[in-house]
Amino acid sequence: MLLLTSLGGSGPTKASLSYSEFTQALNDGKVKKVDFDKDSGKINGTFTKAVGGKTKFTSSGPKADLPESTLKAMQKHHVDFNYTQQGSNIFAELLPLLIPVLLVIGFFVWMNRRAQGQMGAVMNIGKSRAKVYNTEKPKTTFADVAGYGPVKEEITEVVDFLKNPGKFSEIGARIPKGVLLVGPPGTGKTLIARAVAGEAGVPFVSVTGSDFMEMFVGVGAARVRDLFQTARKQAPAIIFVDEIDSIGRKRGAGLGGGHDEREQTLNQMLAEMDGFEATEGIVMMAATNRPDVLDPALLRPGRFDRQIMVPLPTQDERVSILKVHFRDKKISGDVDVQVVARGTPGMSGADLAGLVNEAALFAVRRGENEVHARDFDDARDRVLMGLKRESMVLSQEEKEVVAFHEGGHAVLAYVLEHADPVHKVTILPTGMALGVTQQLPVQERHIYLKEYITDSLVVRLGGRIAEELIYGHLSTGAQNDLVGCTELARKMVREWGMSKRIGPMAWGSQGAVFLGEDLVHTRDYSDETARVIDEEVEFILREEEDRTRRVLTEYRPGLEAVAHALLERETLEGSEVSRLVDAAMGRPSGGPRMVTRADGTEVEAADDKGAAEVEDAGSDVFAPLPSD
């Protein structure tokens, strides 16, 4: 700093005068003010007018005092004369030496604090990362959770116990220590937990399963201990562990031994929940979509006593969920929430939220101020079937093959007794498919009859057989159809007991290797039985293929009418398919719908339709039947 000051100056600002020059200027009346230091004899003064561009000057006189003649001259010319005494400034003298020392000291202080911070992080590594919520936050309540009445009732019972424990203790009732929320992804398990935090009125301690895992051994167990200590200090309280399957997997499982750190964390959690030390006033909640991988000790009574299923929403629950997501959207009057709910079977709450948002995006792209029913149709097609690939151009021959392929799906879906009604057929490339036939159910179904499954097989095989009837050859367009058909037929034989030769026996899917249940894939039936299973699967598929060929041969005029209409308009609605088939078959339009049974007889259609499925050419998107 001193170096820069000395180098960066712009020259002296005061004139330097000898003592004789000073006395001459004083006698000439050019001096206005004089300050004299007796100790050093230094004179500082100010000119009456600038001399040489400078208004101030310095000079040196005799020490002790100025001569009498000089004093009289200043008195004569009315000069402002003052004696000054400048003391020594030790700080100013030592400052150049202190600055480097202070910089060195500051550097070592910074290094010491940095090291202490790192040590503090190491010392706090066993602290739980749980977040504690009070009664004011989060503000989510059960009113924000649409549907799931039975789930909310059971959860409300736990919340009520924490608020009014005396009501339960009077008759000796004991609330479950642990509540496990089980359900598919996106069904709202974490949302329900947030609602519990908003409704409970007691401290809510939230943590995820991955927060317990660290690179150091024993950290997970230490964090579990700290978590329960935090909850005990605030009891009554609720502990919520999201994705508990990350630390609660079966012990001693997996190839090459288990994960010791995870197992120690699980052991500590088991001991804290129902070990030697009682944990009264603490209710533990957890959520997972993989209950099959959890350790049995974690699910026994006294730990997670109660498992609450959070399934995919029903149609009525989807209506309620959609109304919740409609709140902050500008929805047009032509949108019927019942129709939207009926067209979204198998969708979770998260899927419905994405559907509503996708519809809003379609409305914005079209420049609309409201979301219309057309936007929901486009959004559902986008979610179920994928984005339309408008840049993909098919040759005329390929378009004809795809048209007859999709026409085969659509005609069979219309004429078969147990098939779901056709919603839309298109030969525009969509997603991974070259064309799509979409079916939507009239009502939800939870039990699937054998007739419904066999009709599903026929609908799947319709595209392949239609190509064979029209062109006399086969193509690769039915690849995914065949994969789905084979999987469905194998389930009929192995799991659902729908084969006469196999009878009432079932073999479910084999356990995963990482669970340690099957280090090598084994089966609990003989090679002879495996051969019979393969023969039965082949028999079912060939039988349904023959039935598909018979029905399409009978309805070939309808197939050709639908295919030609697809080539002309590219997309057909379900009502147009039914009108074209009826007209081609010589039936009165608008009359009762006639359907074909498995034995070939025609009957008037009933209204009991099953679950939804989507069939397409090239790469099918199909909602498979459940295995349970």
Q: Does residue 214 carry a catalytic annotation?
A: no
The phi and psi torsions of 254 (rounded to 5 degrees) equal 105, 160
Bridge partners (DSSP) listed for residue 51: 54
> Which uninterrupted H or E stretch holds 112?
helix 90-123
* Cα separation, 457 vs 442, whole angstroms: 19
Distance linking the first and last C-alpha atoms of the chain: 82
Specify the pairing of strand 306-309 against strand 422-426.
unpaired
- Selecting among 406, 536, 576, 615, the annotated active-site residue is 406
Closest CA to 147 of 326, 313, 328, 293: 313
Query: What span, in angstroms and rounded, lies between the C-alpha atoms of 183 and 190?
Result: 11
Calpha distance 175→161 (Å, rounded): 7
CB 152 within 8 A of CB 230: no
Assigned token pair, 598? 């498995």
Q: Decide if 430 contacts 437 (C-beta within 8 A).
A: no
CB-based contact 609:441 (threshold 8 Å): yes
* Among the listed residues 555, 271, 268, 609, the one whose alpha carbon sits nearest the alpha carbon of residue 411: 555
Q: Cα separation of 329 and 338, whole Å?
A: 17
CB count in 10 Å sphere of residue 503 = 7
| Backbone torsion region of residue 281, taken as left when φ is above 0, otherwise alpha when ψ lies between -120 and 50, otherwise beta | left
SS3 labels along 83-95: EECCCCCHHHHHH
Across 12-118, the runs of DSSP E, i.e. the strands, are 15-16, 31-37, 42-51, 54-60, 80-84
Rounded Cα distance between 450 and 456, Å, is 10
Residue 286 neighbours by CB under 8 Å, 6+ apart: 178, 179, 180, 181, 240, 241, 242, 244, 248, 304
Distances (CA, A) of 24 to 15, 64, 73: 14, 21, 10
Q: Which residues are catalytic?
A: 406
